[in-house]
Amino acid sequence: MPHGPSQSLLLGLLAALFVAAFLASLLIGPAGLPLSTAFQALFSNENPAAALVMREIRMPRAILAALIGGTLGLTGAVLQGFLRNPLADPNILGISSSAALGAVLVIYTGLSATFALALPLAAMAGALLAVMVIYTLSGSHAGTLTLILAGLAISTFAGAMTTLVLNLSPNPYAALEIVYWMLGSLTDRSWTHVLLAAPFIVIGSLLLALSARALDALTLGADVAASLGIDLPRTRTLIVLGAAMAVGAATAVAGAIGFIGLVVPHVLRPLVGRQPSRLLPASAIAGASLLLLADVAVRVIAPARDIKLGVLTALIGAPFFVWLVLKTRREMA
Which residue ranges in the chain fall short of pLDDT 50? 1-4
* Distance from C-alpha of 321 to C-alpha of 324, rounded to nearest angstrom: 5
DSSP assignment letter at 58: I
**What pLDDT is attached to residue 2?**
45
* Distance from C-alpha of 23 to C-alpha of 39, rounded to nearest angstrom: 10
Which domains, and CATH codes, for the chain? 60-332 (1.10.3470.10)
- Torsion angle in degrees (nearest 10) through CA of 233, 79, 238, 136: -50
**What pLDDT is attached to residue 111?**
84
pLDDT tens for each residue of 208-248? 999 999 999 988 888 888 898 888 888 888 888 898 889 98
**What pLDDT is attached to residue 11?**
92
**What pLDDT is attached to residue 260?**
93
49 CB-near residues (< 8 Å, 6+ apart)? none
**Nearest alpha carbon to residue 63 among 195, 170, 151:** 195
